[in-house]
Structure 1
Amino acid sequence: MDRRNFILASSGYALSALGLPDMDSITRRTTTVSPGAVRVGRGEVAAVRHMVKALGDSASELGGGHARHLAVRYLTQDVAPWLEGRFTEATGRELFAATSQLVHLAGWMAQDEGGTPELRGLAQGYYAHSFRLAAEAGDAELSATALRGLAVQCVDLGYRAEAVQLGEACVEYGRHLDNPRAVAYYEATLANAAAQDGDRHMATKHLATSETAIGRPAAEGGDSWAAHYSPGRWAHESGMILSSGARGCHAHGVVQPPEGRRRAPGEDGGRALARAVSAAAAAVRFRAAAGARFRAGAGGRGRAACALARAAASSSAASGISTWPRR
C-alpha cells in the first residue's frame, strides 16, 4: 500500500467505514453454529490473553519484527477456528476482546518493524480489524486503543485531517471510561493530532483535559493497556506536542525568552524560542515539576502543562520508555 492508497483508505476509516462493526455478530453466532464447530470456553480466552502478553513482552525486548510471524500464525491457525466456534455470549465477548488485543499487537509489530508501504498497510489493516473486533465485543477501551493506533499512523504519515477525525472517535469511545490514565491517553492523542493540524484551540483544550485526567489516582487492578501511560510518559508526550506547537505557547505568553537575552546573529524568533524552551527545561527537574501536582487553577492549566512538559522533554526518566504498546 503506497502513500496515495493509504490516504484514500484512511479517509474511508475516518468518515464512515470504522462505524460499521456488526454489533449483533456475537449474539447471532451463538444461535447459528455449524455442526462441526469447536467448543470454546474460558480456557481458550485465557490462552489468547497469555499469548498476547508473552508475544508483547518478546516484541518489547527484541523488536516488533522478531515475533510478528508467530503472532500471525497463532491468530490464523489457533484463534480463527475459535472465533467460528461454539460459545456463550459472555465467553464470545471475552474471546473477541482478547483477539482484538492480539490483532492490535500484530499491527504494532508491523509498524515497529519498519516504515515500508507494505508494513504500513499491514499495520493499518490490523488496527482496523482490531477496532471491529473490540466494537463487536462491546469493549470501549480496546476500541479507542485501536482508533488511536490508526490516528498515530496518520500523524506519522502527515494525514492530519484524518488523524483529527480518528482522534475524535478515539476520545468519544473512551469518554465514559472509569480509568483516568486511559482518558489521558486518548485525549493526548487528539491533542497531538490537532496540534499537527494547526488547531491550537483544540490542541490546548484536549491537552488540558488529558492533564486533568493524568493527575487523578490511577485505577487499581485490571489489565488495562493504558496502565503503562504514566505521568512521566504523559509529560514526555505533552512536551513533544508543545514543541510542535511552541509558537502557540509563545503567543499565549506561556514560554518567554529570558530577560535581556539577545538573539544570536541570524537566529530567527522560532530558534530563539526553541533555545528558551531548552533552557527552561534544563533548569527544572522533572520530579520537582511532577511533584507540583498541577496546582495551577483552571485558568493556568495550559501554563502548568507547558512547564511540566518542558521539564519532562529533557528528562531521561520520561524518555526511556520502550515497552509496547508504543502507539
Structure 2
Amino acid sequence: MPPETFGAMICRARKERGWSQSRLAEELAQVSGRSTVTRQEVYRWEKGRRVPRFWLPHIATALDIPRDRLERAIAANGASDDSPDPAATLTTLLPDGDPLTPLTASTGRRVGAQDARDLAARVHGLRLADDVLAGRDLVSPARRELAAALRLYQEGRHTEAVGRSLLVAIGELAQIVGWIESDAGHHDRAEATYRLGVSAAREAGDLTLAGNVAGSLAYQWTNTGRQREGLALARAALDDAGPDAPGKARALFFDRVAWAHASIGEAQAAMRALEHAHEALVAAEPEAAPEWAYWVSEDELRVMDARVYTELRRPLRAVPLLRDVLNRYNAAHARELALYLSWLAVAYADANEPEAAAETTARMFALSADVASDRTAERSQVVLCRLADFEDVPEVRAVLGVA
C-alpha cells in the first residue's frame, strides 16, 4: 500500500476534527501568532499543488501530527516507481488544440526576417529586465509582449524559415514570461504559458529550447509541492535535449535535476547531477551557447551546489560556497541576491550559528523590502521559521521583532 501523501494526511486529520479548510486556516493563524493563511492555500496543500514550508511546524501543532511524519509524507508525495519516457512526458505538456495555428496567413501583413530579429531582441530585453525587476512589476508588460508575438505569428504572412524563427522567439518568450508569472505567484498561469512554450519550441524543431521551457516548469513543480513530477520532467527535459545540446544548456538541465533530487532527500543522486553540471559547463563551447543561457556560469552553478547542500542539511559545504559567490555578486540583481542570502541564513542556522544567521537575514530583508517577488516572500517565511528555533538569542529576537 503506497504511503499517505501529505495532502491526504492533513485533509484526513482536518476532517477528523470536523474542521473546514477555513477553520484550519484560522487555527493556523492563531497558532503562528504573526501571520495569516487563506482557505485557498489550505486547498492547494491538500491537492498537492504547493508545499507549506513556513507553515509546516504550525500544521504539526494544529493537527497534532509529528513534524517528521509530515516531512516524510511530503517526500513521498506523488512517489512513483515508473520511469516515464522523456518524449511522452514532454508530449503531455502540449496544450489542447493548436494555439499556434496561423489565423489569417493569406490576408495578414507580410512578416519578414527583420521582424523575427526584432522580436528576438525584445525577448532578450525582457530577460535582462527580469534580472533587475521582480515578477509583480513585470508580469503585465510581459504578458502583453507574448500576446503581441502570438498575433505576429498567427496573423502575418511569412515564409517557412521566418515562421520557424518566430516560433523559436515565442518559445523563448513563453519561458521568460512563465518565469515572471511564477515569480509573481501566478503558478497556474505560468504552467499554461510554459506549455505553450514547449509547443512552440517543438514545432520549431528546437529540442534544447523545449528542454529549457519544460525544465522551467519542472523547477516550478519541484518548488510547489510536486517534487516527484518535477524530477520526472527535469529528467525528461535533459534526455529529450540529448547529449549534443550545448554545454551551458546541459549544465542548467543537470542543475534542475540535482535540485529535484535534493528536494526529496536523494543526496547521492543530487550530488552526481551537480558533478555532471560542472562537467558540462567545463566542456561548453561559448559560441554554441543559446542566448537564453547567457547567465549560466561557474558562480551560478556554485550557488546551486550550495542550495542543494543546504537542502540536504550539509551547511559546512554550503556556507563557504555561498559566502565566496555573494562577496562578488551584482548588487543590482536584488531578488537573486536576497534569495541566495536566504539560503546562507538557513545554512548558518543549520550550522548552529544563529548570530550569523540573524545578520544575514537582516541583510536579506533590507534587500527584498521593495522586491515584488513571490519567491523572496516565500523564502522569507522559510528563514523566519528556521530562526524561530533560536528565539532566545538576542540578535535573532531582534530580527524576528522587525519581521
Superposition TM-score, scaled by structure 2 size: 0.56
- For the residues of structure 1 that align with 2:159 and 2:335, how far apart are their CA atoms? 31
Conservation of the 8 A alpha-carbon contact between 2:248 and 2:289: no
Instruction: Kindly report which structure 2 residues correspond to 1:160-175, keeping only aligned pairs within 5 A, or say none.
Output: 160-175=227-242
Q: 1:49 aligns with which of 113, 120, 123?
A: 120
Counterpart of 2:172? 101
**CA separation in 1, counterparts of 2:227 and 2:208?**
23
Alignment partners' CA distance in 2, 1:208 and 1:187 = 9
The verdict on how the C-alpha distance between 1:94 and 1:197 changes in structure 2, with shifts beyond 3 A counting, is same
**Residues 131 and 147, structure 1, Cα contact 8 Å, conserved in 2:** yes
Equivalent residue for 1:312?
A: 321
- Check 1:5–1:318 CA distance in 2 against 1; reply closer, same or farther (3 A cut): farther
Instruction: State how 1:200-279 maps to structure 2 within 5 Å.
Output: 200-220=267-287, 223-246=290-313, 274=315, 277=316
- Counterpart of 1:18 in structure 2 is 90
Task: Check whether the contact 1:96–1:136 (CA below 8 A) recurs between aligned residues.
Answer: yes
Give distance in 2, aligned partners of 1:164 and 1:318.
31
Where structure 1 has 5 or more consecutive residues not aligned to the other structure, the ranges are 248-273, 282-308
Partner of 2:354: none
| 1:76 equivalent in structure 2 | 147
Once residues 226 and 220 of structure 1 are traced to their aligned partners in structure 2, the CA distance between those partners, rounded to angstroms, is 11
Q: Which runs of 5+ in 2 are unaligned?
A: 1-39, 51-77, 79-83, 340-374, 376-403
Tell me, yes or no, if structure 1 residue 92 matches structure 2 residue 159: no
Q: How many residues align?
A: 257
**For residue 148 of structure 1, what is the aligned residue in structure 2?**
215
Cα distance change of structure 1 residues 226 and 35 upon mapping to structure 2, 3 Å threshold: closer
What is the TM-score of this pair, normalised by structure 1?
0.67
Deviations along 1:187-237, one digit per CA (max 9) or x if unpaired, are 111011012123334223322211211223542266432221100110111
Q: Report the Cα distance in structure 2 between the residues aligned to 1:142 and 1:323, rounded to whole angstroms.
A: 27
Secondary structure of 1:314's counterpart equals helix
Aligned position for 1:111: 182
**CA-to-aligned-CA distance 1:78-109 (integer Å, 9 cap, x gap):** 54242343222222111100011112221121
User: CA 1:317–1:234 in structure 2 vs 1: closer, same or farther (change >3 Å)?
Assistant: farther
Moved more, 92-101 or 34-43: 34-43
Which stretches of structure 1, 4 residues or more, deviate above 6 A after TM superposition? Answer: 323-327
TM-aligned CA distance change 1:213 to 1:236, over 3 Å:
same
Q: Report the RMSD for the aligned CA atoms in angstroms.
A: 3.4
* Aligned equivalents of 2:290, 2:213: Cα separation in 1: 16
In structure 2, the partner of 1:257 is: none
User: By how many angstroms is 1:58 displaced?
Assistant: 2.6
Structure 2: how far apart are the matches of 1:311 and 1:122?
37
- Say if 1:174 and 1:227 are closer, same or farther in 2 by CA, change over 3 A: farther
Tell me by how many angstroms 1:133 deviates.
0.8
Please name the residue that 1:186 is paired with.
253
Q: Aligned residue for 1:125?
A: 192
Amino acid at match of 1:134: A
Distance 1:223 1:182, change over 3 A: closer
| Contact kept in structure 2, 1:48 and 1:79, CA below 8 Å | no
Equivalent residues of 2:267, 2:312 under 8 A apart: yes
Q: 1:19 Cα shift?
A: 0.7
Q: Which is worse superposed, 81-90 or 216-225?
A: 216-225
